[in-house]
Amino acid sequence: MSENSKRLEITFKGDAFPNGAVPIALLANKLKLLQDILFHAAATVENDTAARRGRWTRRYGEVAEPTYVNSHHSDLTIEVEVGRSAAVLSAEFDPRGELLDCVFDFGDWVQEGCRALDADGPRKMRADQRESLLRAFNGLLPGEEDNYQIELRNASPSRHPRLLFTPETKKQVRNYFVRETAASVFKPEPMSLVGELIKIHVDVGPQKIAIRRNGRDIDCFYSEPMRDQITNLMAGSMVEVTGDPTLDRHGNVIKLDRLLDVSTVSMDPLRISRFEHGGKVYVQREPFVVNVQYEDDLWTYHCPQINLWGCGERREDALKDLHENFAYLWREVAEESDGVLDSQARKIKELLRNNDVQARAEA
């Protein structure tokens, strides 16, 4: 295998990052998560049964730790090389071959929405290996409401075709965890909650985090394969948790007995250049900036530039409302004659028209 075949490229694409302007905090976090994937893949290939606790990754530093090589624009691409030497963990383990095969084969399964397991795919892994690696990939994925994609490529594309992860991929992984739990044991329908992360227990019992929601603290208990994902969280941040709930007699959540997923909720403004509703797509030349707020159990999306709003108890409901209201704005303002519009509506019409919004039937 050539030296270049050990190189990986991770690219950040989409309207959220004009001219490759990826926030440093997000970049650092995603590169750390890519490193986690490589370490878990190394442990999986070696069939390591030791607990992945403490400084367990030191066992794989020589063969799996990525080092910076180069970067490119306009979509920001970071190029890294995997492994600091040609050292091997065992006679059968080729760190430059099996390791990347594992990453890209498993990544293809994730990219395809965690399709049904088969004998040639992740089923041949132990269940704990599969969950640990999937948790690592899950952290790398864009959030369900994010407006960007992450592409992973190898310098040997004929051996490892590119992987493209989108917000839809994140949703499919979350659905996979919910399906797996539902199939294993009868429990109440999993619930998703948003709150402030106030407590993180790692390496002390019990393994849990706690969120504060509406003045109430809710404990959320996690399994060992989620450990790396938990350690990447930051106390004080807003997070969304999904898990199996225990309810009181009033239907309020007391705790989540098993945490299925957790992700940091970004309150950064969105850049949206495409709206869809009612079988129509509205594409604009420059994206509109939409502010995000979560307060009193209500998500609010607001673009003050064109006085566009979307609200809902769930993020997906608020975004759906935003897209529906844009369609209304286009129909009732942008396509209306100036004579029936007030001065504010005429300004909004001018902004929409000057942005070359194209309305067409959805393909």
Give 90-134 pLDDT, tens digit per residue: 444 455 578 899 999 999 999 998 887 665 567 678 888 898 999
pLDDT digits (tens, 9 = 90+) for 122-170: 767 888 889 899 999 999 999 888 889 999 999 777 788 899 999 999 9
* DSSP three-state, residue 52: coil
Q: Which of 208, 200, 255 lies closest to 232 in space, CA to CA? A: 200
Here the tokens at position 43 are: 């442990």
Q: Which of 294, 272, 296 lies closest to 285 in space, CA to CA? A: 272
Q: Do residues 265 and 283 make contact, with C-beta atoms less than 8 angstroms apart?
A: no
* Average pLDDT, integer, range 163-178: 91
pLDDT greater at residue 214 or residue 347 = 347
| pLDDT at 80 > cutoff 90 | yes
* Average pLDDT, integer, range 222-240: 89
| Residue 341 banded pLDDT, cuts 50, 70, 90 | very high
Here the tokens at position 21 are: 């302007």
* DSSP three-state, residue 264: strand
Please, which residues bridge with residue 272 across strands? Answer: 288
Share of the chain above pLDDT 70, in %: 91
How does the average pLDDT of the chain come out, rounded?
86
pLDDT digits (tens, 9 = 90+) for 275-290: 999 888 898 888 899 9
Q: Distance between CA 96 and CA 42 in Å, rounded? A: 10
* Average pLDDT, integer, range 52-74: 87
Q: Do residues 341 and 258 make contact, with C-beta atoms less than 8 angstroms apart?
A: no
Look up the pTM and report it: 0.74
Residue 89: per-residue pLDDT: 45
- Is the domain covering 187-264 a CATH 1.10.3720.10 domain? no
Residue 151: per-residue pLDDT: 97
Residue 50: per-residue pLDDT: 83
* In the chain, domain spans: 3-183, 187-264, 270-361
| Residues with Cβ within 8 Å of residue 75, at least 6 apart in sequence | 11, 12, 13, 17, 20
Q: Which of 298, 285, 288, 271 lies closest to 329 in space, CA to CA? A: 288
Other beta carbons within 10 angstroms of residue 91's beta carbon come to 6
Residue 91: per-residue pLDDT: 44
Residue 93: per-residue pLDDT: 46
Residue 228: per-residue pLDDT: 85
C-alpha triplet 178, 180, 182: angle, nearest 5°? 70
Q: Distance between CA 290 and CA 170 in Å, rounded? A: 21
- Show the beta-strand stretches assigned E in the chain: 7-13, 66-72, 76-82, 149-154, 163-165, 191-200, 208-213, 216-221, 238-247, 253-264, 270-277, 280-295, 298-303, 308-312, 358-361
* Average pLDDT, integer, range 24-38: 93
Q: Do residues 138 and 229 make contact, with C-beta atoms less than 8 angstroms apart?
A: yes
Single-letter residue type at 3: E
